Chains A and B, each alone.
Chain A
Amino acid sequence: MNTASKKLAPHISGEASMWILLLGDMVIYALLFFMYGYDHRQEAALFRESQTTLNAGFGFANTLILLTSSWLVVMGLKSAKTNQRASAANFFKYAMLCGAAFGVSKFIEYGLKINSGIELTDNSFYMYYFLLTGFHFIHVIIGMTTLFFMRRHVLGENFSASSDNSISGLESGANFWHLVDLLWILIFPLLYLIG
């Protein structure tokens, strides 16, 4: 039973000041979502017609990939906290592979769009489609780099499961990856599902 540990004082995951970056990025994305919503309302017919050219299957697959990677990172962190370093490193590696799978899927999706003659500057919808997913993809790449260093840290000699610095650093990195997942959770329905 872990009820005793649940009743501890409030605990911030990762470094407290890291939340400036996390919440700040959430605010930037909220503003981008509102801009999209505003323009969707202005040109509803155009947006709906353009949305039908997207394949929601890609968006759905990417959602599952990122959710799974997030879960892997949670499990990796749990392993790291109980000093199961090899298992933690494996979880982080599989999460990175999920990120790579997301990249491949994005690459194919963009390729299909460009081959069918769709471009960034065709209309407002495609502007949002390419920019929202493009900015998000930059986050994916930064997140994968973070996971790489988390894996290296957990295997390295500076790691200690009882060191606050080690665990808090890993938690900060993990939170960035969850942010990547979180943003996609909203990009997916906005671009692919609702109109």
Chain B
Amino acid sequence: MQLNTNSQLVCVNSAMILIFFMIISFVAIAGWMPPLSPELNADQVAEVFRNNTNRIRLAGLVMTIGAVFLWPFGVAISEQMKRIEGQLHHPLANLQLATVTLTVGAIFLAGMLWMLCAFRPERAPEITQIMSDLSWFFFIGAIPPAVIQVLAIGYCVLIDHRKTPVMPRWFGFCNLWIATGFLVGEGVFFFKTGPFAWDGLAAFWMAAFFFFGWIIVTWYVVRQAILHEAAEAKSLSAQGVA
């Protein structure tokens, strides 16, 4: 039986679609670089959604579409983690997939909430403000599942003791480092100004660097692992024929 790794490659490459949609939505359409300031009062927030109604609706829509492409990427990571853990029990692969689901949900809900804010922009400003706040809590502050996710990946990579590991050990330590980087974003619930607010240097810019950096590095490493698996299977079946 010929092993087919094409569907795994489709899954892992969806990471690039995720990045593309997120940047199109956030930077090109909404123009939120940096995000809405947490310091804005209700009237100012409502005005942003009143003046850019259809733009923000579209940005939210593109963000919800982009968010779901994180799912296949998470599946590709878990498939390779299963090669380390074994086919019968693979708790870390399952944990990774479970936690990535919440991150998908957080990005998806942020997009939904932007559309909701812009759906009836003439409503009372306080209502728009609370939904806008919630969208940023999800978008920037929903970090604990992502921390558990990268810890699960890091731990799984580091317990791989075969001669040529499925994923390189530096990638394991890199995930542990990224976990510490994510933690810096957890201040968004306390501050409206400064580096730890959701538009700040630590919570927004550093978090964005770690999130997109993690996706690109993980995409590369998991893709290499899949290609390696395919080559291995090919040489095995060639031996079988001979």
Contacts and interface: CB of A to CB of B under 8 A. Distances in A.
- Direct A–B contact present (CB less than 8 angstroms): yes
Interface of A: 15, 17-18, 20-21, 24-25, 28, 31-32, 35, 39, 120-121, 124, 127, 131, 135, 138
A131 B202 CA distance: 12
Contacts, number: 51
A141 to B, nearest CB: 12
B168 A17 contact: yes
B190 A120 contact: yes
B183 A138 contact: yes
Nearest to A24: B177
Interface in B169-215: 169-170, 172-174, 176-177, 180-181, 183-184, 187, 190-191, 194-196, 201-202, 206
Interface residues of chain A: helix, strand, loop or mixed (majority):
helix
Contacts of A25: 177, 180
B147 to A, nearest CB: 11
A18 B177 CA distance: 10
A115 B180 CA distance: 30
Nearest to A15: B169
Contacts of A18: 173
Interface of B: 168-170, 172-174, 176-177, 180-181, 183-184, 187, 190-191, 194-196, 201-202, 206
Contacts of B177: 20-21, 24-25
27 contacts: A15-B173, A17-B173, A20-B174, A20-B177, A21-B173, A21-B174, A24-B174, A24-B181, A25-B177, A25-B180, A28-B184, A28-B206, A31-B201, A31-B206, A32-B184, A32-B202, A35-B201, A39-B194, A39-B195, A121-B190, A121-B191, A124-B194, A127-B191, A127-B194, A127-B196, A131-B196, A138-B183
B168 A131 contact: no
Contacts of A20: 170, 173-174, 177
Contacts of B196: 127, 131
A18 B190 CA distance: 33
A32 B194 CA distance: 12
Contacts of B201: 31, 35
A110 B45 CA distance: 36
A131 B174 CA distance: 23
Contacts of B183: 135, 138
B173 A28 contact: no
B168 A35 contact: no
